Amino acid sequence: MRAITDTVDRSSELFTTNVEAYERDLDVLAERMQFAITGGRGRSRSIQRHHDRGKVLPRDRVDMVIDEGSPFVELSTLAGWGQADDEFPGAGIVTGIGLVHGVPWMFIANDATVKGGSLFPAGIKKHVRAQDIAMENGLGCIYLVDSGGAFLPMQDEVFPDRDHFGGTFHRQARMSAAGLPQLSVVLGGCTAGGAYVPALSDENIMVEGIGRIFLGGPPIVKAALGEVIDPDELGGAALHTRESGVSDHMVGTEAEAYGLLRELCANTNQRRIDAPAGWLDVIEPEPPAHPAEEILGIINADTRIPFDVRQIIARLVDGSRFSEFKPEWGTSIVVGTTRIWGHLVGVIANNGIIFSEDALKATHFIELCNQRAIPLVFLQNTTGYMVGRDSEIGGIAKNGAKMVSAVANCRVPKFTVLIGGSFGAGNYGMCGRGFDPRFLFAWPNSRIATMAADTAETVLTDIRLGGMKGADTTEEEIAEIRRSIRGQYEEQSDPYYATSRLWDDGLISPLDTRDVLGLCLALAARGPGPDAGDRLVYRM
């Protein structure tokens, strides 16, 4: 495989300015991550209270379960960011993938320091998404349960609909039936929805003194029956392991619980992460020839200045080698075969606007990868499909549709990273959320919307003024319309707005992207290969 020619000028002023700007972006990301982990109104008090009760914080709980040195790929840390007055840092729940005895598991851990671990809309979405990832990637689930169930003031947004609380139970039962183990440790006052999680698990452990399971907690029992009852008498570990049989194991401390949990995991007969892939060509990995740190200088802080995506690929893939397909045709899209952590992959990456030829080239390449069962990695940086009369005559609508259709119908695992703009139908053709990539991550410089704020300002102002035909509109009023449209688009295309709503599986640094993709590919390689189906290749 040929090496990508390095064209980056590290000594240029542009490179230095870009690095400085991107480092500021990464500082903001780190600060906001920290807020999700320990920040928020009254949070230090609730964290202290948690510790005073002898309880461990959710991320530390995960650390006590996973193998020493195992990575923990945390998902959607910033879910809920900027919503509900920031009362739910991290959406009150921690999800992610870690190894136990070399086997990857999905962890779903409530954060009782955020509104008693109760779930508001972004929290439910995060729980559901973690389960969907587990299902698609054949992962067992470990629930570290410490939750007051539905966040009652917003019950209409978390209780009744398809992907609300009921949907989490449905998924739990379906995964269990599919042979994906569902294991729980009960670590707090698990009420109502929180109670069904351990009750629906294949096997569960309760920690004496802190773990409780009840459909209605003491306040509900008092309201309903007028009885005042101690929480342990109502649903403590002794009651549930010795009398009701709701629980299978009782231990004295959290540390004992995680030791026992690791023992239970060892008996579940799951494939290790390094189990030989039956269907995908995987070889010894090799680091890229150029450091990922240079990506910070390649991405232009001024988004109007383009960059060559090959230079990004060179810093993500093994040996910076890339076998490019059709490099002389459809040059706004770059496609080719390469390896990430030894896994053979097809990469589809934008160099700006998608023209008809680009769409056809991408379609052809997607079909090739599908025929050869090669997973696809999409690197999105596009303002969308080309508009204008020439483009319409060239059939951009049908050619773009071919690409969209090929992405929708290919059966290989797909992974998407938003490395820049993700605008218009470009988001769809490049395997946005609606096209079910197994994972979708975004860089903190990315932007996602129907169109860029600049374009929206002009288009929507014209539409608005057109609708006000005849009315006298002053220059100030027009300026105000422009400002408000631009403000709306800037706010809503911000990556933090997106990640807060789980349009992605998390914001990640360019520096971590290769490792994250490597883990995603290892998960895919560990599972069954894509089903056969039709694997037609049409020359476009």
β-pairing verdict for 333-340 and 343-350: antiparallel
For ligand COA, which residue of 220, 289, 301, 408 counts as binding (CB under 6 A)?
220
Q: What angle do CA 139, 372, 368 make, to 5 degrees?
A: 120
* Rounded Cα gap, residues 96 and 261, in angstroms: 17
* Crossing angle of helices 453-467 and 475-492, rounded to 10°: 140
Q: Which stretch binds ligand COA (CB under 6 A): 134-142, 191-199, 517-525, 527-535?
A: 191-199
Distances in Å between the Cα of 538 and the Cα atoms of 60, 151, 178, 375, 532 are: 52, 52, 36, 19, 17
User: In sequence order, what are the residues at sequence separation of 6 or more whose Cβ sits closer than 8 angstroms to the Cβ of residue 300?
Assistant: 14, 18, 306, 307
* Rounded Cα gap, residues 46 and 56, in angstroms: 12
For ligand COA, which residue of 3, 28, 152, 255 counts as binding (CB under 6 A)?
152
Question: Partners of 339 in the beta sheet?
Answer: 344
Q: How far is the CB of 116 from ligand COA (least distance, A)?
A: 3
DSSP-derived 3-state class of residue 386:
coil
Query: Which residues, numbered 390-429, are part of the site for ligand COA (CB under 6 A)?
Result: none
Is 115 a binding residue for ligand COA by CB under 6 A? The answer is yes
Residue carrying the six token digits 């007051």: 148
Burial of 262 from C-beta contacts in 10 A (0-12 / 13-18 / 19+): middle
For ligand COA, which residue of 40, 121, 138, 217 counts as binding (CB under 6 A)?
217
How many residues belong to the site for ligand COA (CB under 6 A)?
16
Is 118 a binding residue for ligand COA by CB under 6 A? The answer is yes
Q: How far is the CB of 494 from ligand COA (least distance, A)?
A: 28
> Whose Cβ is closer to ligand COA: residue 104's or residue 148's?
148
Is 148 a binding residue for ligand COA by CB under 6 A? The answer is yes
Burial of 244 from C-beta contacts in 10 A (0-12 / 13-18 / 19+): exposed
Is 193 a binding residue for ligand COA by CB under 6 A? The answer is yes
> Whose Cβ is closer to ligand COA: residue 150's or residue 418's?
150
> Whose Cβ is closer to ligand COA: residue 193's or residue 420's?
193
Q: How far is the CB of 206 from ligand COA (least distance, A)?
A: 14
Is 236 a binding residue for ligand COA by CB under 6 A? The answer is no
For ligand COA, which residue of 80, 149, 330, 426 counts as binding (CB under 6 A)?
149
Cβ 335 vs Cβ 367: under 8 Å: no
For ligand COA, which residue of 18, 77, 131, 191 counts as binding (CB under 6 A)?
191
Q: How far is the CB of 161 from ligand COA (least distance, A)?
A: 15
**Interacting residue ranges for ligand COA, rule: CB under 6 A:** 112, 115-116, 118, 148-152, 189, 191-193, 217, 219-220
